[in-house]
Structure formats: structure tokens, C-alpha cells
Chains A and B, each alone.
Chain A
Amino acid sequence: MYSFSYVKPATLKDVSAFLKSNPEARPLAGGMTLIPTLKARLAQPSHLVDISGLEELRGIEMKDGRIAIGAGTRHQEVARSARVREAIPALAYLAEHIGDPQVRNLGTIGGSVANNDPAADYPAAVLGLAATIVTDRREIAADDYFQGMFATALEAGELIVRVLFPIPKRAAYQKFAHPASGYAMTGVFVADSGKEVRVAVTGAGPGVFRWREAEAALAKKVSAEAVSALKMPADDLNEDIHGTREYRANLVNVLTRRAVTQIAGR
């Protein structure tokens, strides 16, 4: 690790001010991506600004019919939350299947969404559920927020405060996890809000995206048959030692059908 200075401001206001005046500083929440990145000397921040103690980023509560999850909430807390399990069981399931128990004890939803790893789980739920990202400056709709590999609408120094999830009529998350890392080789989040069905795909492409063709088919009928004949074009998908882009294209279809089958009976 390159050298840096560690600071832990007491309030969100202090954090925002510090990040504004120190453009090379990076916020540190759970550190499950940032610390390995620093250890590999892939980043050299001037400061790490520890936001893990901020009260403003804590808590899971109902707000105007949506679930508001503080950005500092650990994956394990989301997985175990009675409120989340009751209102959006697919979201609790997703949180319970991130990484491993030690990672879930530290990693946070805000960190995952800010990092926007192309194989991370949370972006699929945020996009699939049409959630809203609340920052220390504004609110951003999920459709505007994700902008490709590790890229988001966040400006320099902008901090996620909470994520607002509308409660769907029914939803399911299916992932084909890499057996060692737990990352999604492909993950599909299907959500039926009652007004629209959204299909969000993570792990397969350079960033999370909606499979519009499947959404259009599911708008007519929420059944696996409705999407079974659809073919996801492989051209823009990821290819690596774990699988070809054609393999991932097939996974998108398989996992979409599994997710749809899971919700079709409800």
C-alpha cells in the first residue's frame, strides 16, 4: 500500500466538506473493494475518509411506501432485516449471496453501488427495482445512475447517503456465481411493479443493463415461455477465462427464465 492519511470526520457535513477540499481523498466504508485495491497499489489516495461511523448513513426504514436503506448498511444487515425480508425478499436474498460471511459483515450497499463493479450484485437490484440514489447533493434515478464499467453519475466527491427501493408486487434474483469469488458470472433481477416488468442484468456486460426485449415480452405475460425464444445478442457481452460471450448470453436467458418462473406463481 502507498502511504495515505486516515481521517474520520464526525458528521456527513464534515465528510462532504473534506472531500470537496481534498480531491485526491477517497471515502472508506466497508473497504471490501478499496483495501484490496490499495494493497495491489492500484490507487494512491491522499486521504482515506472513514464514513463507517456516520449516523446519517445508518438504518433501514419505510419512507413514503419505499424502503430507505442507509448507504452504510452492511450486506448482512440487509440480509437479516425483517423489514426487507418481508417487503422485498429478493433483495434480502441478493444481499445474503454477496461474497462470503466475512465480506458481508463489512461491505456496504453504498460502497457496492458507488463502485459499480460490472459483476456486483446490488446494481441489478437497484436498476431492476427502479430505485433512487440519494446523495449528499441530489436524487438520481437508477436509469440515469449506472453508466458502464465502474462508471456512475456521481460527481467528484459526491457521496451516496441512502438508496430508496420502491416495493414491487413480486421480484426475484437469480445468479450464476463464480464458485471462488461469489461474483456474478451473470445475475438477473426481475421485478414486477404492477405497472411494468423490469429485467436487469449484471455480470454479463461491461455494466449492469436492462434487457428491454425481455421486458416487452413479459409485459404481455409473466411466464418463462414468453422469454424462452428470445436471444440475447452476445456482441457486447464480457468474455474472459471463465466463459465466452456466447456462454454469458445463454446464461442471461436461462437466469431470466428461472427468475420469471420463481415469481410467476405469486
Chain B
Amino acid sequence: MTVAKVEITVNGTRHAHEVEDRTLLANFLRDTLGLTGTHIGCDTSQCGCCTVHVNGQAVKSCTMLAVQANGADVVTIEGLAKNGTLHPVQRAFTECHALQCGFCTPGMIMAVAGFLKDNPKPSDEEIYRGLEGNLCRCTGYINIVKAVKRGSELLAGGKA
């Protein structure tokens, strides 16, 4: 077993820890830092529940080693709201009731917040493709798609 020292900034706070080389970022966030909002659904890179942002980009934290994120800036669902104000995508998911059981929701929100940065006004087709990396086992996609559109409006400064 080999161990590495990592320094990872998570939600604005710098964390220095020793981790086993084979520790996944998802396990580091959940088990070492106690940030259990990042869910592990399938653990095989398919469901997207574990999506977080690494240096501003959405990635699946079950398919990345914690050591790969050494020196990186990581944002999890816990860090998306600022000073008690929900991120526009979080607000959109609330307004549109874009969840049923809620298990996929943190990953959905992180994925949507990620791809809206690259494509602020996606077409329906682009929304479907943008959500390809995330599964909702309740199949509640209709309201999730609505929430992506609403999130896009809110991010553009649309009426609250």
C-alpha cells in the first residue's frame, strides 16, 4: 500500500491529507471530508450521481483518483450555494420540482451547472445530450429538462 500527501481545495477550503494512492475522489470527499452530498450510485462511471467540478469542469468523482486532484479546486454540491443563497440551477430544480427520490439530484445539478457554463442557452437536443452522463432511476426527466431551461434563464439574469 502506498500513500500520498495531497492538498485539495474543496468548496474554497484547503485540505491537506494523506490518502492511499488508489483512493477515489468520491471516497475522499465522502469518507475523509464527510461531504456526503456527493453520491455514489453505480460506482461504474455510468450514473453520474458522483459528479463534482474539478477546476471548473464536471467530472465523475468515482472515476478519478484523489491524487489526480492534487492541487486542484474542487466544488461539490455542498459548495454550490453562496452565503446561504442557492445557485440558480439549485433554485431551478426546486422551482420545477425536478426530483422524485432525490438520489441523482446532486449529480444532476453539478452536471447541469457544468454544461450550462459551456452552453448557456441549450436547445432541447443539446439538453438531452448534456444530461447523457446522468441517470434518474425514477425517470423524472421531464421536470429535470424543464429545470435546465429554467436554470439557463436564471443564470442569464431572467426574472426570479
State whether the Cβ of B64 lies closer than 8 Å to any Cβ in chain A: yes
A76 and B65 CA atoms in complex are apart in Å by: 20
Interface centre among A35, A102, A106 (most CB of B within 10 A): A102
A4 and B65 CA atoms in complex are apart in Å by: 12
> Are B130 and A50 in touch, CB under 8 angstroms?
no
> Are A103 and B45 in touch, CB under 8 angstroms?
yes
- Min distance, Cβ A181 to any Cβ of chain B, angstroms: 8
Partner of A102, one of B21, B44, B59, B65: B59
> Are B63 and A3 in touch, CB under 8 angstroms?
no
> Are B58 and A101 in touch, CB under 8 angstroms?
yes
- Interface SS majority for chain B: mixed
Q: List, in ascending order, chain A residues with CB within 8 A of B65's CB.
A: 6, 31, 35, 48
Known contacts A36-B45, A105-B59, A180-B46, A99 near B68 by CB under 8 Å? no
- Min distance, Cβ B87 to any Cβ of chain A, angstroms: 18
> Are B21 and A48 in touch, CB under 8 angstroms?
yes
A32 and B44 CA atoms in complex are apart in Å by: 11
- Min distance, Cβ A6 to any Cβ of chain B, angstroms: 4
- Min distance, Cβ A96 to any Cβ of chain B, angstroms: 9
- The proximity string for B residues 79-121 relative to A, scoring 1 for CB distances below 8 Å and 0 otherwise, is 0000000000000000000000000000000010011001000
- Min distance, Cβ B39 to any Cβ of chain A, angstroms: 14
Partner of A101, one of B4, B21, B114: B114
Q: List, in ascending order, chain B residues with CB within 8 A of A80's CB.
A: 118
> Are B46 and A35 in touch, CB under 8 angstroms?
no
> Are B2 and A5 in touch, CB under 8 angstroms?
yes
Residues facing A in B15-57 (CB within 8 A) are: 20-22, 43-46, 48, 51, 57
> Are A3 and B1 in touch, CB under 8 angstroms?
yes
6 cross-chain CB contacts under 8 A: A36-B45, A48-B65, A76-B118, A80-B118, A100-B48, A105-B58
